[in-house]
Amino acid sequence: MVRFAKGHGTRNDFVLLTDEHDQQPLSAADVRHLADRRGGIGGDGVLRAVRGRHIEGWSGDPDLWFMDYRNADGSVAEMCGNGVRVFAHYLREQGLVPEDADHIDIGTRAGLRTAWIVGDGRVRVAMGRVQAPHETVCVSLEDQSWDAAPVDVGNPHAVVLLPTTDSVAALDLSVSPRWEPADAFPYGVNVEFVAPHGDHRIRMRVYERGVGETESCGTGTVAAARATANAAGERDGVWTVEVPGGEVEVAFVGDEAWLTGPAVIVAHGDMEWPVASERREEEGND
């Protein structure tokens, strides 16, 4: 039996679990089952709340809540911008952090992230330093190819800047984009397709590694805004990013970024794991 919550940030949705003392580590098969939209609960990923001391490689405060994030296919990811907003909201809702705390520090595989509950159902997160080297890679989708800007938001992104929102809407993201050189992203990459849609406003679609097309990607909105700002010759500023699931705000001061957007918990419940034989069969496919 597992107790869960279901939440989303601009319809990028997650299954959330509390496992303070690391008594329920998740296999890739467990994650796939939880994220399965027919046989499980359903989500783009799974967020497990565990104390930092239980995470290999975490050298920060061992008592911090750590966001152990997994993509829907069971793979481990460094960071998730929408996920960390939902995670902060979940910690507050569950009484895992003080109700009157003015900020919430969260451990991630991309480092420490700090969140503020700003009201109106929104959460603001300090996303840390964004790195966007002055180079390009080639991204291909079916018979089309574009130059793309690599951007590191604690996880890897390749941003394709397109001329119109119609050209973004017309893309078929049911298939995975390819990139060259292949070794530019040895562990995969999130690919954003972006077009201008007003003053300091852009529209974006994304293909997330380990998931497929999602209705939003928080780190992807930061990457998209950074690449767009760089192309415009701007360093600081505030950008609104529209995604199929809603919109978020990305602010830059130098290389530092802040992401503000909605975080919603939609359900709580208990789920029975598959019978032991089925779980062994699923784990055998890893």
Q: Each residue of 76-117: pLDDT tens digit?
A: 999 999 999 999 999 999 999 998 888 999 999 999 999 999
- Take residue 60 and report the two structure tokens written for it: 């920060």
Distances (CA, A) of 69 to 108, 110, 142, 159, 201: 8, 11, 30, 23, 29
The answer on pLDDT for 280 being more than 90 is no
Q: Note whether 27 and 95 are same-domain residues.
A: yes
- pLDDT number for residue 1: 84
Q: Note whether 93 and 110 are same-domain residues.
A: yes
- pLDDT number for residue 279: 52
- pLDDT number for residue 278: 53
Q: Note whether 9 and 117 are same-domain residues.
A: yes
Mean local confidence (pLDDT), 18-39? 96
Q: Note whether 34 and 72 are same-domain residues.
A: yes
Mean local confidence (pLDDT), 24-53? 96
230 is in an annotated binding site: no
Q: Is residue 132 part of a domain?
A: no
Q: Note whether 188 and 115 are same-domain residues.
A: no
Q: How many domains does the chain have?
A: 2
Q: Is residue 126 part of a domain?
A: no
| Catalytic residue flag (residue 138) | no
Mean local confidence (pLDDT), 48-71? 97
- pLDDT number for residue 277: 40
Q: Note whether 204 and 253 are same-domain residues.
A: yes
Domain that holds residue 53: 2-121+264-283
Paired residues of 119 in beta bridges: 122
Q: Note whether 97 and 155 are same-domain residues.
A: no
Q: Is residue 42 part of a domain?
A: yes
Q: Is residue 63 part of a domain?
A: yes
82 is in an annotated binding site: yes
- Give the chain's mean pLDDT: 94
Which ranges constitute the DSSP H helices of the chain?
28-35, 81-93, 165-169, 218-231, 276-283
The answer on pLDDT for 208 being more than 70 is yes
- pTM equals 0.92
CB 229 within 8 A of CB 254: no
Confidence grade of residue 282 (pLDDT, cut at 50, 70, 90): low
The answer on pLDDT for 20 being more than 60 is yes
Which percentage of the chain shows pLDDT scores above 90?
A: 91
| Catalytic residue flag (residue 80) | yes
Higher pLDDT, 285 or 164: 164
209 is in an annotated binding site: yes
> Which CATH number is 23's domain given?
3.10.310.10
Q: Is residue 130 part of a domain?
A: no
Catalytic residue among 49, 55, 72, 80: 80
Catalytic residue among 217, 229, 241, 257: 217
Q: Note whether 62 and 163 are same-domain residues.
A: no
- pLDDT number for residue 284: 58
The answer on pLDDT for 44 being more than 90 is yes
